[in-house]
Amino acid sequence: MKAGFTIGLKKRNQYWISFLLVISVSLVCYGLTPYMGYRVVALVLLVTVSLIAISFDILPVLFAAALSAFIWDFFFIPPRFTIHVGSTDDSILLIMYFIIAMINGVLTYKIRQAEKKARLKEERANSVKLYNTILNSLSHELRTPIAAIIGATDNLQLNKHLSNADRQQLIGEISKASLRLNQQVENLLNISRLESGHIQPKADWCDVVELVYEVVRRVEENNPGRKINISMNQDLPICWIDKGMLDQVLYNLLNNAAIHTDQGSKIEIMAACHIDLLEVVIQDSGQGFRMTNQKDVFQKFSRERKEEIAGTGLGLSIVKGFTEALGGNVELKTDGSGTRFVLSFPVRTKYISIEHG
Amino acid sequence: MAKREVLIIDDEPQIRKLLEITLQSNGYVVKEAISAKEGLIMASNHPPDLILLDLGLPDENGHIVLQKLRKWYTNPVIILSVQKSEENIIKALDNGANDYLVKPFRTGELLARIRSATRASISEDSDPVISCGDLQIDLTARTVRKGNDLVRLTATEYNLLALLARNEGKVLTHQYLLRAIWGPGYINQSQYLRVFIAQIRKKIEVDPNRPECLLTESGVGYRFLSK
């Protein structure tokens, strides 16, 4: 954390703080001269410089060292108020004081450099690890459907003894694989939009009821056999929000629920609007997340049950990224009997009566 | 009836091949152009019944090709593009495209859009009754019926529905609808549109939450689908 403190403070401020510290400590010591010898003052000043060295850069430390040496010489070493030093002992002390203060500064600098090096090394190791994770996950997630497509088309072209049923099945596999590929590419495009930091929500008036039904229709279409319960007041006001991004958030959560829970478990979406808050809850009665740390769940490329179910581990990090870009918040509550995502977005809302329209 | 002729302007051979097979097997005559230049020449030499235009052509931006085409070409143009941003879609529709499909698209969807675009261009001022399921909109009598029942609509609701029905199959953008129904001062008042569409659906759709006649094109506009 010290490193952060050093970086956080501008150089100029470091000089000022060093200056003020040395001056105020000197003033206190000056007031106490009747009660303590001037050699003790040297130690007190040395401690001050050491403290400065703990968190500041080398130059402000050297500055503090020089300043305090001068002050000690001028105001404390007899004869006072001259830079002249009276005894040989004091001359040696002054020189030693100066050397120790300088060493303080240099050692600090060396430690800083070593810390920086270690940090860089660690960062590099982390990015290599992340890169490998991405590569493994992507090459698996992209190559599997591609392999399915190539395999199936080869079979269709070369195998003359295929029954009609086999043929249909192979065509079905191609269709499934290409849809899966499309979904992965969509996720990758979204994550790179988020990573580039250029994501600008474009809000407009949005009929949330319409949006929810539309998303549910798509999820049900892409997950045949799954039924999603919708429970919300049909008279929700219209909300001022980026519809496309909200759509993506809800789709990812519902689609996740449909993919990662058994056919028998329930999936439900609820939406409610308060004066300036849109709240959406998506819950399922599946087996829940094993990761207990919420941060991990929303991490890029973090995945559960990798072996059993396909995925890139991007869906939830897109959910979090988009939700935050919309100024909202997403919370996860999960246990062995289900998962519940609570989303809240600050929005302007409007009720319009059109009976006279 | 003579076979309809479709001109494909797309530089990707795979997409052209796919479209050719799909369209020919569905009874269309297909012509292909691999660049904007070639497409414009082919369209002017022998105007097709419909043009499928890719926006990402190597020699010229598809939006500009569309503008050039629209100076004289009046039959439907459907855009096929990998660009799915709402700005792009709205720009293309504003430039006179009849419809916009994002690649990858489903074949069934493409054929439906082509059918509805060509039908709309033929029934320009012929059929005053437009229907969707058991919903019937009589543009001459200005009445709307669901089965045998008269649907009560306010003047604005009727105008909005009639405008969409008259352009059946075609996406009308939010701005276009707001300008046409409420006037130029209202093009940013999208809240009215949301509320009126919801209200109309409650009156004409079997299940207003799963609309089959009055469809939303997310972020872009609405379309009336006749059946």
Query: Predicted confidence band at A2 (pLDDT cuts at 50, 70, 90)?
Result: very low
State percent of chain A over pLDDT 90: 23
Beta carbons of A252 and A246 less than 8 angstroms apart: no
Q: Could B195 and A352 be called an inter-chain contact, meaning their C-beta atoms sit closer than 8 Å?
A: yes
B192 touches chain A (CB under 8 A): yes
Q: Could B198 and A244 be called an inter-chain contact, meaning their C-beta atoms sit closer than 8 Å?
A: no
- What is the average per-residue pLDDT within A62-78? 89
Residue of B nearest to A179 (CA): B104
Rounded to a whole number, what is the largest CA-CA distance in chain A?
111
- B191 contact residues in A (CB cutoff 8 A): 205, 238, 350, 352
Given this model, what pLDDT does residue A195 score?
A: 80
Q: How far apart, in whole angstroms, are the C-alpha atoms of residue A240 and residue A223?
A: 30
Query: Predicted confidence band at A5 (pLDDT cuts at 50, 70, 90)?
Result: very low
**Contacts with B, A 214-253, CB within 8 Å:** 214, 217, 238, 243-244, 247
The strand pairing partners of A268, in sequence order, are A229, A283
In the Cβ-directed half-sphere of B169, how many Cα atoms lie within 13 Å? Answer: 25
Q: How far apart, in whole angstroms, are the C-alpha atoms of residue A53 and residue A304?
A: 47
The token duo for B217 is 């094109």
Query: Predicted confidence band at A155 (pLDDT cuts at 50, 70, 90)?
Result: confident
The pTM assigned to this predicted structure is 0.68
- A238 contact residues in B (CB cutoff 8 A): 191, 194-195
Q: How far apart, in whole angstroms, are the C-alpha atoms of residue B107 and residue A177?
A: 16
SS3 assignment, position A349: strand
Q: Could A354 and B154 be called an inter-chain contact, meaning their C-beta atoms sit closer than 8 Å?
A: yes
- What is the average per-residue pLDDT within A327-340? 87
Reported as a single tens digit per residue, the pLDDT across B78-120 is 999 988 888 899 999 999 999 999 988 888 889 989 988 887 5
Q: Could A352 and B192 be called an inter-chain contact, meaning their C-beta atoms sit closer than 8 Å?
A: yes
Query: Predicted confidence band at A357 (pLDDT cuts at 50, 70, 90)?
Result: very low
The token duo for A190 is 């979204």
Question: Is residue B18 within a helix (H) or strand (E), and if so which, with residue range?
Answer: helix B13-25
Beta carbons of A270 and A328 less than 8 angstroms apart: no
What is the number of other CB atoms lying within 10 angstroms of the CB of residue A252?
24
Sign of CA dihedral A240, A241, A242, A246: negative
Query: Predicted confidence band at A353 (pLDDT cuts at 50, 70, 90)?
Result: low
Is the ipTM here above 0.95?
Answer: no
SS3 assignment, position B145: strand
Crossing angle of helices B190-204 and B174-181, in 10° steps, is: 90
